[in-house]
């Protein structure tokens, strides 16, 4: 279901999951957001792909923590001295917390780039800047074409045996000659492309982008829930429900009902697309049986 979301509601959803946790300043919330992202990632990509990238998500916080404790020496709990520098638990913990936050942002961004396909980007751009949307569409068409063509081009030149042999310097020179030729090719051909655009009336009238997506009830649900939850979470952030102190000592905020509700709300929102996906899959399976 996630990929069927309207670009606008999808954008709202991802803005919420990417940005909101980062502003809570609370490591527990970071962890929660990261775990929810991970669940959605497992639901989106093959498990093996996700498992392979888990190493990064484990190494990254540790790295940032080490880095932070090397540069920051505040904090009351001294672990040990390194070259006369104090290495403190608080600085390490702060680094871990930042790492978790980066993780959470990374994982949601990864989901965003998976679900935000070319046509959705174009839809969003098309509403406020049709020209940019058109350029994006053209770039998305040109990139695979150029990649294919430059391979064919290099191959042909290599087979002609004129370039691509000799010393390293000669080879690099050859590659640039080939690149120059490729450049001529694409510039010349792009002029026919623009002729074809003129022929189909580009610039003749005010351009209006074709809208491929429709706003469904599921989109409305997502939008309302996201906005409600975002509103409540922002209220919590402002009132300091999540505020965590690291220096000189780690002080977690007291457990509060508001914090609890905010957490539940975040879980609900971030689990919504995954839940819808699973229900959809079950329904599909029934149809096939």
Map the footprint of another protein across residues 163-192, applying CB under 8 A.
Answer: 163, 176-192
Among 78, 139, 227, 228, binds another protein (CB under 8 A): 139
Closer by beta carbon to another protein, 181 or else 253? 181
Buried b or exposed e, range 101-110, using 16+ CB within 10 angstroms: bbbbbbbbeb
Q: β-strand 78-82 against 85-88: which pairing, if any?
A: antiparallel
Closer by beta carbon to another protein, 130 or else 253? 130
Residues 8, 227 contacting (CB under 8 angstroms)? no
Q: Does 141 bind another protein (CB under 8 A)?
A: yes
Residues touching another protein, count (CB under 8 A): 91
Q: Does 85 bind another protein (CB under 8 A)?
A: no
Q: Does 26 bind another protein (CB under 8 A)?
A: no
Residues 222, 5 contacting (CB under 8 angstroms)? yes
Nearest to 122 by CA among 105, 141, 97: 141
Closer by beta carbon to another protein, 42 or else 67? 67
Stretch that binds another protein, among 66-74, 79-87, 248-256, 275-283 (CB under 8 A): 66-74
Among 48, 206, 283, 286, binds another protein (CB under 8 A): 206
Closer by beta carbon to another protein, 150 or else 223? 150
Among 54, 58, 78, 143, binds another protein (CB under 8 A): 143
- Segment holding 80, helix H or strand E: strand 78-82
Show the binding pattern over residues 86-125: x = contacts another protein (CB under 8 A), - = does not. Answer: ------------x--xx--xx--xx-xx--x-xx--x--x
Among 48, 80, 84, 199, binds another protein (CB under 8 A): 199
Closer by beta carbon to another protein, 42 or else 153? 153
Among 76, 77, 193, 220, binds another protein (CB under 8 A): 193
User: Least distance (Å) from another protein to the CB of residue 257?
Assistant: 26
Q: Does 194 bind another protein (CB under 8 A)?
A: yes
Q: Does 264 bind another protein (CB under 8 A)?
A: no
Burial of 123 (C-beta count, 10 Å sphere; 0-12/13-18/19+): buried
Buried b or exposed e, range 36-60, using 16+ CB within 10 angstroms: bbbebbebbeeeeebeeeeeebeeb
Q: Give the tokens for residue 263.
A: 């957490």
Among 147, 283, 285, 286, binds another protein (CB under 8 A): 147
Nearest to 124 by CA among 280, 269, 15, 1: 15
Residues 39, 17 contacting (CB under 8 angstroms)? no
Q: What are the contacts of 259-265 at 24+ separation with CB within 8 A?
A: 261/232, 262/229, 262/232, 262/233, 262/236, 263/29, 263/32, 265/228, 265/229, 265/232, 265/233
Q: Does 157 bind another protein (CB under 8 A)?
A: yes
Among 74, 148, 165, 245, binds another protein (CB under 8 A): 148
| Centroid of chain to Cα 195 | 36
């Amino acid at each position: 279901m996630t990929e069927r979301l309207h670009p606008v509601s999808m954008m709202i959803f991802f803005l919420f999951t990417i940005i909101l946790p980062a502003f809570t300043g609370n490591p527990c919330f970071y962890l929660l957001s990261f775990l929810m992202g991970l669940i959605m990632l497992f639901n989106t990509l093959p498990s093996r792909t996700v498992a392979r990238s888990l190493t990064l998500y484990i190494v990254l916080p540790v790295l940032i923590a080490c880095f932070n404790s090397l540069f920051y020496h505040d904090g009351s709990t001294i672990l040990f001295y390194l070259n006369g520098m104090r290495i403190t638990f608080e600085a390490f913990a702060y680094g871990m917390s930042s790492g978790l936050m980066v993780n959470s942002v990374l994982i949601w961004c990864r989901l965003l780039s998976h679900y935000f396909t070319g046509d959705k980007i174009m839809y969003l751009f098309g509403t406020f800047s049709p020209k940019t949307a058109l350029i994006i569409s053209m770039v998305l068409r040109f990139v695979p074409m150029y990649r294919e063509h430059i391979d064919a081009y290099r191959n042909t030149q290599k087979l002609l045996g004129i370039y691509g042999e000799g010393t390293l310097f000669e080879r690099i020179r050859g590659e640039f000659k080939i690149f120059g030729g490729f450049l001529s090719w694409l510039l010349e051909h792009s002029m026919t492309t623009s002729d074809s655009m003129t022929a189909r009336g580009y610039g003749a009238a005010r351009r209006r982008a074709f809208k491929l997506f429709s706003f469904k009830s599921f989109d409305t649900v997502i939008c309302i829930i996201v906005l409600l939850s975002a509103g409540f979470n922002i209220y919590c952030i402002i009132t300091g429900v999540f505020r965590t102190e690291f220096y000189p000592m780690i002080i977690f905020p007291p457990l509060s009902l508001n914090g609890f509700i905010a957490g539940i709300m975040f879980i609900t929102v971030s689990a919504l697309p995954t839940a819808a996906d699973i229900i959809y899959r079950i329904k599909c399976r029934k149809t096939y049986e």
